[in-house]
Every structure is written in C-alpha cells, then in structure tokens.
Amino acid sequence: MTDDDVKRARTRARILEGFARAERALFTRPAPKSARAQMKFLRTREKGSTKSLAARLGVSRKTVQRYLSGASTKPNKHLQAALVEETESEWQPQVRAQARQRAAFSGGLVISCRAYFGLGPDGTSDAGRVRDITVAVSPSHAAAIIAAQEDGATQDDLHDAVAEAIADSYFRQGGGGRAGLEVKFADVEWLNITF
C-alpha cells in the first residue's frame, strides 16, 4: 500500500466518522448504553435470533445469551466497540433517513475540515497549504456524498465527492470566473459534517 493509499483511506475513515457524529447529533432519544440493553436492541433487529446477532458481533452465541440474561455485564474492548457501533448504526433509522433526504433535496450539508488544499503554483496566494474551512455545500453535492456513502463507495469515490463539493462551494463559489479551477484535497486532519 502506497503513502497516497494510506492517506486516502484515512480521509475516507474521517468522512465516515464525520457522518456518524452528525447522525448521533440528530437522535431524539439516547441510544442504549448498557451492554444488556444494546444486546436486547440488536436482538430485535436480528428478528430475535441470538445466532445471527453473535455472528454480527463476532462472538459466540453463549456470550450473547450471557449478556441478555444479565450474567455478564462488562464486555471486553472489542465487544464494547462492536456493540456501540452496531447499536448506533441501527438506532432511529427514520430520523437519519429524514435528515439525509432533507440534506439531499433542500438543505445541503455543512462541512468543516482542516486539510491540505492546493490551488495554484508555489509562491502565489493560491499555493497549496493546510487550511481550516467551513462551507455549506449545495443539496446536489450533498446528495452525491450521501449516495456515495450509502452505496459503500470506494475510498476514491467518497474522497472525490467531498473534494468536489468543497471545491465547488468554497473555491469556485458555484462557478463564476473560477469555474475551471483544479483543487487538490488531501491530508485531512479532521472533518465534521452537519445536516
């Protein structure tokens, strides 16, 4: 794996983390916190099957049954991380779907990030450098980013969708005199998304 591949993978992970944080902020009720409550919730999502829940979490069926009965209460780090991730991914799907639809059709997204942006040759004010940027992206760009994320886009596709949205909204300002401006987006230090 090359250095660029590692950086793109890190960028994709930060974009997905940004989506997860944005969706958690939308929840109208807190997600279950205890391991037992999370297991019960996830079991309902698996239509009552402890076998499929065990496979989903990467543990034995007996482990799932111990947490459901209350015999075990403190999961190891791996199981705790899996419980939190799986619970939050399934929690309040209608709230998330409504926010995504609103972003894609009317509201857009707000993306804040610290990353390297390169616009022009060295020695000019447009030379590449690390910048802190907060920008509201259009609903059409939001729809492209959301579709890429939902479809399990590759690193390149998701990176390119976010890069294009930021470039068009911030640097090109929706066209104007800078319509053909090429923008390099790399080395993302942090990224937040708001619906």
Q: Cβ distance 93 to 188 under 8 Å? A: no
Region 61-83: mean pLDDT is: 92
In whole angstroms, give the CA distance from residue 11 to residue 159: 7
Task: Of 56-70, 91-105, 141-155, 171-185, give the lowest mean pLDDT range.
Answer: 171-185
- Confidence at 156, pLDDT banded by 50, 70, 90: confident
Q: Cβ distance 83 to 39 under 8 Å? A: yes
Task: Of 8-12, 43-47, 72-76, 144-148, give the lowest mean pLDDT range.
Answer: 8-12
Region 169-178: mean pLDDT is: 69
27-52 pLDDT per residue, tens:
888 889 999 999 999 999 999 999 99
Which pTM was predicted? Answer: 0.72
In whole angstroms, give the CA distance from residue 136 to residue 30: 27
Q: Which residue has the tokens 């890429």?
A: 148
Q: Which residue has the tokens 């005199």?
A: 177
Does the pLDDT at position 148 exceed 70?
yes
In whole angstroms, give the CA distance from residue 192 to residue 5: 22
Listing DSSP states for 94-162 in one string gives: HHHHHHHHHIIIII-EEEEEEEEEE-B-TTSTTB-EEEEEEEEEPHHHHHHHHHHHHTT--HHHHHHHH
**How is residue 111 written in tokens?**
């993306």
Does the pLDDT at position 143 exceed 70?
yes
Q: Which pLDDT score, from 0 to 100, does residue 178 have?
A: 64
Q: Which pLDDT score, from 0 to 100, does residue 110 have?
A: 93
112-126 pLDDT per residue, tens:
999 888 877 777 777
Q: Cβ distance 40 to 68 under 8 Å? A: yes
